[in-house]
Amino acid sequence: DGGITQSPKYLFRKEGQNVTLSCEQNLNHDAMYWYRQDPGQGLRLIYYSQIVNDFQKGDIAEGYSVSREKKESFPLTVTSAQKNPTAFYLCASKSVGANVLTFGAGSRLTVL
Amino acid sequence: EDQVTQSPEALRLQEGESSSLNCSYTVSGLRGLFWYRQDPGKGPEFLFTLYSAGEEKEKERLKATLTKKESFLHITAPKPEDSATYLCAAISSGSARQLTFGSGTQLTVLP
């Protein structure tokens, strides 16, 4: 079945550590997205990529980095510069020209 | 700046008690209004897209409607399995084709 796989499901990080969240899709979608979800808030866009080797900052990119070396993969690194990284992170994808996003199951990051 | 506001934040219904969720939007040139369902600890699942005022879409006990300022998600005779958070999102001509999400309505249907 086609879909988006995010890993790990749960991740704990000590302050000062960088962590990388994985996102892999087999939907042959061109565009991929990372969102952050906090309680009581809407999804906020961190980074997005519409083509391999190219990506753009979203509304809250500070403290995060991404790469898009393959069409199927869009990993997100949460760096030590992110002041409040504890959140639920969602990866999504869509075909270019389409509007409907398909989401992964999410990764919950907790900073200890 | 595009804004999407959902109300109420939380809603508790008895099984069979119909109600509506509201999504108000302020965007520059609406290109689409989306409804998603999100279960706890999972990613959102797509429900509906509406494109123009007056449009309606239905799926089982859910019906989404759209006006020039807001969208409603009507839930008819809900069941406990309809319990979830319902997210509304809009895409506009002024947003570089990126979605603006509301904060969601957490629906609980009691048996």
- Tell me the pLDDT tens digit for each residue of A20-36: 999 999 999 999 999 99
- Average pLDDT of the segment spanning A35-60: 94
Whether the CB-CB separation of A69 and A86 falls below 8 Å is answered with no
Report the percentage of chain B scoring pLDDT > 70: 96
Chain position carrying tokens 């369902």:
B37
Provide the shortest C-alpha distance from residue A39 to chain B (in Å).
8
A103: which chain B residues are within 8 Å (Cβ-Cβ)? 36, 43-45
- Residue B12 per-residue DSSP state: E
Q: Is A104 on the interface with B (CB under 8 A)?
A: yes
Give kind and range of the element (H or E) at residue A51. Answer: strand A44-51
In this structure, the dihedral spanned by the alpha carbons of residues B94, B98, B100 and B101, taken in order and rounded to 10 degrees, is 160
pLDDT at B97 over 90: no
Average pLDDT score, chain B: 95
Provide the shortest C-alpha distance from residue A56 to chain B (in Å).
11
Q: How many CB atoms lie within 10 A of CB A83?
A: 8
- Average pLDDT of the segment spanning A8-29: 94
Tell me what pLDDT residue A1 has.
Answer: 67
Condensed to tens digits (0 to 9), the pLDDT of residues A71-82 reads 999 999 999 888
CA distances from A93 to A30, B38, B53 (A): 7, 16, 27
CA distances from B73 to B7, B44, B87, B99 (A): 11, 16, 10, 18
